Amino acid sequence: MLAPDVSPSVETLASVPAVALFVERAQASAPAFALTADNAPAVARLCAHLDDLPLALELAAAHANVLTPAQLLGWLEHRLPALSWHAPDLPARQPSLHAALAWSYALLPEAEQALFRRLAVFAGGWTPEAAETVTHATGLGLDAVDGLARLVDASLVQVSRPADECACFSMLATVRAFAAEQLAASGERAEIERRHAAYCVALAEQADLARRWRACGDLHETRAVLEGALARRPGRRAGLRLKVLQGAGLAASASGDYGTATARLEQVLELARRLGNDPDLVATPATVGLLSPREQEVLPLVTEGLTNKEIAERLVISASTAKYHLTSLLNKLGADNRTQAVAHATQQGLL
């Protein structure tokens, strides 16, 4: 770390990791930015003021397209005391990071501040569609994509683009914790959490869940929201409970938790029958793709009583491969043996 009163050469300063990071991120925001003899002292003091913390430096550098290093330093020295979180039990370097986050937040227009804090309900990643639905961006006078892009430019949100998928957004844990503080202070948390839960239920009813969830990383939080809803309100009205149970089963299936998926989807079938719904119209292990194509071939052969060797010969695969598929089949059906597997498959409409 450089002391604020040290004035090394530009070449020496450029080799300091914190300065190099600041310059790199500043150039991402303002391509013409360069470390010079004129701005080097301010950059050195800026890095020292932020304790060389990478995230704090990145947050500051994101504004290099509108503020010079000297102006950035002025903000830090004169505005941050009022924005800092004064908590004596924090690690020594944490107040600088919290202050940098507070500073970046304060620079956002009011609508973008609201968008940012509302995004804290997403524990994992989210899509622009999810952000629009949960944060009610249009009600803020914002286009969700434009608002997210500005938060990315401010280094408050990260974006990734999986192959053949739409862009996915996320926050670093530290940034999300700060956003959650702002959400709690705003008085909006209950409403945004309600919208998030409703979105998770709706998402769980859509097709091709495994691909969408794994692409954007929000599968685990969706499961947590749905399972939490079931635990908190066991007596909720039957129609809504049917949807939540179905969503929880689909989410469990997409995450590979086939035991829970089977249990939840069996509850769906039981409740559907009690409500007089057609069981064929609700999710079952068969309709959600619990079984792979090969496992669907193995199941009727198990019903015939064939051994692993005989199954292998019938499907022209090795005995070890047949054993693998049989083991997977038993796990997904929640069965301990072949007899149970056939019984469970029959109950679930797979035979």
> Half-sphere exposure of 230 toward its Cβ, with a 13 Å CA cutoff?
18
Beta-carbon contacts of 5 under 8 Å, excluding residues fewer than 6 positions away, are none
Instruction: Output the pTM of the full model.
Output: 0.54
Question: Residue 89: its pLDDT value, please?
Answer: 44
Q: Are the C-beta atoms of 194 and 152 separated by less than 8 Å?
A: no
Contact 339, 305 (CB under 8 A): no
CA distance 244 to 229: 8
pLDDT tens string 193-234: 888 877 776 765 554 455 555 555 566 667 777 777 677 666
What are the structure tokens assigned to 175, written together? 């940034």
Would you say domain 108-186 falls under CATH 3.40.50.300?
A: no
> Average pLDDT by consecutive 10-residue portion of the chain (351 residues)?
59 89 90 92 86 79 87 72 41 61 88 96 82 89 90 87 65 86 94 83 57 57 72 64 77 75 80 67 50 82 93 90 85 80 75 68
Helix orientation angle between 40-49 and 17-29, rounded to the nearest 10 degrees: 110
DSSP states along 74-107:
HHHHHTHHHHS---TTS-TTHHHHHHHHHHHHHH
Q: Which of 192, 115, 99 is nearest to 150 (CA)?
A: 115
C-alpha to C-alpha distances, 322 to 113, 302, 350, 351, nearest whole angstrom: 56, 11, 19, 19
Cβ neighbourhood burial of 261 (10 Å; 0-12, 13-18, 19+): buried
Query: Is 205-281's fold the same as 293-347's?
Result: no
Residues 6+ apart with CB under 8 A from 83: 99, 102, 103, 106
Residue spans per domain, the chain: 10-96, 108-186, 205-281, 293-347
Q: What is the CATH number assigned to the segment(s) 293-347?
A: 1.10.10.10
Fold exhibited by the domain 205-281: 1.25.40
**Would you state the pLDDT for residue 223?**
75
